[in-house]
Structures are given as C-alpha cells and as structure tokens.
Amino acid sequence: KAGVTQTPRYLIKTRGQQVTLSCSPISGHRSVSWYQQTPGQGLQFLFEYFSETQRNKGNFPGRFSGRQFSNSRSEMNVSTLELGDSALYLCASSLELAGVSEQFFGPGTRLTVL
C-alpha cells in the first residue's frame, strides 16, 4: 500500500507570494492533518480535515488555509508569505479505529521564503 505522498518536495518563494501544497493520504484514510516544523517552534498542528470538513484548527493566522476533496486528497494554502513561514510542512493521514488515532506522515514539503 502506498504511503502518504506530498508534492512538491521543495519550494522556493518570495515574500508576499502565495503557495499551495498538496497531500495524498494512504488509500482508505479519511483524516488528513497538517503540521509545520521549524527549528525554533518544533512541530505545530495547523489543521485537520475529515470527510471534506475542517474538524480542528491550530493557532495559526488566517493566511493559512486548507481544504480536502472527496477523494480525501488535501491541499493547504499560505497567502502573503512571510520569511517566518519557511518550514517543513508535514501532512499525515489516519484511519481512525476504536478511538485510536495513529497518524502516518509523508516526507514533507520544504518551503523556503526569500
């Protein structure tokens, strides 16, 4: 079974631009979560989508948004990029069984904002 895939793997943008990252979950997984990883803040939860609905949201500004499609694929968008948005963005999918949420992570998209 294929794992979680993320595209692109690397991105370079300039301040003020916007960016869209894509995540394809493991087949059959309906929950997709996004995390931002930086050296200073560590791993921080952005949001989670389940069956095309945002189910939970972390403490990030409105410039960060996401969506999920009917095939469970998800995208996240960051508008008006700032230097501090440079990070590794990780996507994770999960198959929720009996209340246990085990998440499987993709390789991440490395975003550099210049």
Does residue 56 belong to the site contacting another protein (CB under 8 A)?
yes
Beta-strand relationship, 53-57 and 42-50: antiparallel
Q: Which is nearer to another protein, 10 or 70 (CB)?
A: 10
How is residue 75 written in tokens? 């995208």
Backbone angles phi, psi at 83, to 5 degrees: -55, -35
- Residue number with CB closer to another protein (73 or 104): 104
Q: Count the neighbouring beta carbons within 10 Å of the beta carbon of residue 94.
A: 20
Using CB under 8 A, which of the segments 13-21, 61-69, 77-85, 91-99 binds another protein? Answer: 91-99
- The pair of three-digit structure tokens given for residue 52, joined into one six-digit string: 């095309």
Sequence-separated (6 or more) residues with CB below 8 Å from residue 20: 75, 76, 77
Region binding another protein by CB under 8 A among candidate stretches 14-22, 67-75, 77-85, 97-105: 97-105
Q: Among 76, 87, 92, 111, indicate the residue that binds another protein (CB under 8 A).
A: 92
Beta 19-24 vs 74-78: how paired, if at all? antiparallel
85 scored as a contact of another protein (CB under 8 A): no
Number of residues binding to another protein, judged by CB under 8 A = 26
38 binds another protein (CB under 8 A): no
